[in-house]
A and B are shown apart, each in its own frame.
Chain A
Amino acid sequence: MNLAATPLSWNACLSSLRLDRWMMGELDAADAETVGTHVSSCAACSAAVAGIRGVREEVRARPLPAALTRPTPRRRLPGAAVAGIGLALAASLVLVLRAPPATERSKGSGLGLAMFVQHGDDVRRAAPGETVFAGDAVRFAVSTPIPAYVAVLSLDPAGRASVYFPQASRAAEVPAGTEVPLPLGTRLDATTGEERLLGIFCASPVELEPIRLGLERGQDGAPLPADCQGLRWSFVKR
């Protein structure tokens, strides 16, 4: 028997590993876009993704194993382990503080913050630094390899900080996935200039007011809570 042609051989063009990583938000933005474009035009890969999604829904509908429903002593993972499982908190916090301000992905962590803009009838994905217009409707989507507590804050050109998502005092839980749309959209006001965005991904539902105040007081690079990682980028409003 030829090993390449057994009844168990994989039939799609892209490997199951790559498709799984794509679906779980582990690829960087460019690679994710390449995979997404391919899947949308390839019947074999599209069928493979549908199969993966089917099993995912099946697992979600199953009861949890007993061992996962019992409380266990809380253990804090060392930084290296945290980096390994996606939310590279300590290490990436340094990365965020020192990195260029405009990035929609944290390389290697699997975290991502995307913004979609509706201008008139045209809907597009905005890139960091892109120009948008007052009155445009925007909606955010996040990528995270594991469930995380998420919030999106902004610092407008007038120096006012606000929380775009969620409309609550604490970060809201978002399931793992690639570009999971956040349920709230917003319409940009008439203030023109550069608006900074801060997406935070946390292991707990952190209070947002201290973070918002930090932004407003000009502490754009101030440390986030210890169990959070931030992604920062900006757009220009005209």
Chain B
Amino acid sequence: MILDAAAIAGLYRSHGHVVLRRARTLLGSEADAGEALQEIFTALVRNPDAVRSAGSIVGWLYQATTHHCLNQLRKARTGARVLELHVRPGLSESGGPRGEAAAEVRRLLALLPEEVAAAVVYHHLDGMTHAEVAELLGCSRRQVGYLLERAQGLWDRAEKTA
């Protein structure tokens, strides 16, 4: 199969929502989610071989979106926006305590090691079973349990020191 810009444009139309919906949740900002959508598919044009080892397109897009969004949350620029969201929540939240709590989740996600944060995202924000998380992370279900346990510990500690 030829994977040129036209084919990737087709993928964008058919699968772009998989990226946009999750990026909105993870980033809490319409503008940042739109950027994530563009950047992930633009990167695919530059490097179509990125899907070489993917077992499924949807799974690959989940991995790419999670990686991209966690990076964004870690960047100082986006970190500043997250702080701003405490005051002016993104479109996906209605504001108030719920919006503040959502922004707090994103702030804490940015503090976790990548693999731990990814496990949290997949299990708690996407509702995946340990088996599904293990598939995307390429590890055992037991390791997923360990990562989630570690996440809760780090989370509790970060909340206490906040």
Partners in one complex: yes
With A24-B14, A175-B14 known as contacts, the answer to whether A77 contacts B101 (CB < 8 A) is: no
CA distance A146 to B53 in the complex (A): 17
Q: Which of A81-89, A122-130, A205-213 contacts B (4 or more CB under 8 A)?
A: A81-89
With A55-B21, A68-B12 known as contacts, the answer to whether A16 contacts B105 (CB < 8 A) is: no
Contacts of A10 in B (CB 8 A): 124-127
B51 close to A64 (CB less than 8 A) = no
Q: Which of B3, B6, B11 makes the CB contact (< 8 A) with A77?
A: B3
Contacts of B56 in A (CB 8 A): 21, 26, 84, 86, 110, 145
With A15-B128, A77-B52, A176-B15 known as contacts, the answer to whether A8 contacts B3 (CB < 8 A) is: no
For the complex formed, measure the closest distance between the CB of A35 and the CB atoms of chain B, giving whole angstroms: 13
B76 interface hit (Cβ, 8 Å):
no
Closest to B2 in A: A74
Closest to A16 in B: B126
Closest to B104 in A: A1
For the complex formed, measure the closest distance between the CB of A144 and the CB atoms of chain B, giving whole angstroms: 9
Contacts of A20 in B (CB 8 A): 18, 58, 62
Q: Which of B40-48, B79-87, B137-145 contacts A (4 or more CB under 8 A)?
A: B40-48
Q: Mark B19-60, 1 if CB is under 8 A from A, else 0.
A: 011100110000000000110011001001101111111111
B2 close to A17 (CB less than 8 A) = no
For the complex formed, measure the closest distance between the CB of A83 and the CB atoms of chain B, giving whole angstroms: 9
CA distance A105 to B26 in the complex (A): 34
B1 close to A15 (CB less than 8 A) = no
A52 interface hit (Cβ, 8 Å):
yes
CA distance A13 to B120 in the complex (A): 17
CA distance A65 to B41 in the complex (A): 9
B91 interface hit (Cβ, 8 Å):
no
B9 close to A68 (CB less than 8 A) = yes
CA distance A7 to B124 in the complex (A): 10
Closest to A51 in B: B21
For the complex formed, measure the closest distance between the CB of B41 and the CB atoms of chain A, giving whole angstroms: 6
With A51-B21, A73-B4, A85-B51 known as contacts, the answer to whether A4 contacts B124 (CB < 8 A) is: yes
B58 close to A21 (CB less than 8 A) = yes
B105 close to A59 (CB less than 8 A) = no
A24 close to B48 (CB less than 8 A) = no
Contacts of A227 in B (CB 8 A): 1-2
For the complex formed, measure the closest distance between the CB of A139 and the CB atoms of chain B, giving whole angstroms: 22
Name which of A18, A65, A77 has the most chain B CB atoms within 10 A of its CB.
A65
A8 close to B1 (CB less than 8 A) = no
CA distance A51 to B45 in the complex (A): 28
Q: Which of B57-106 contact A (CB under 8 A)?
A: 57-60, 62, 93, 98-99, 101-102, 104-106
Contacts of A18 in B (CB 8 A): 128, 132
B57 close to A16 (CB less than 8 A) = no
Name which of B56, B99, B128, B155 has the most chain A CB atoms within 10 A of its CB.
B56
CA distance A203 to B8 in the complex (A): 12
Can you list 18 A-B pairs with a CB-CB distance of less than 8 A?
A3-B148, A8-B124, A17-B62, A18-B128, A24-B18, A26-B57, A65-B37, A65-B41, A67-B5, A70-B5, A71-B4, A75-B4, A77-B3, A77-B48, A77-B52, A85-B1, A145-B58, A146-B11
Give the 9 A-B CB pairs with smallest separation, nearest first: A10-B127, A176-B14, A59-B16, A56-B17, A55-B17, A68-B9, A67-B42, A81-B52, A84-B54
Q: Besides the contacts A77-B49, A85-B60, what 13 more A-B pairs have beta carbons closer than 8 Å?
A: A3-B124, A8-B25, A8-B26, A8-B102, A10-B127, A16-B22, A21-B56, A60-B16, A77-B2, A77-B48, A89-B1, A108-B55, A175-B14
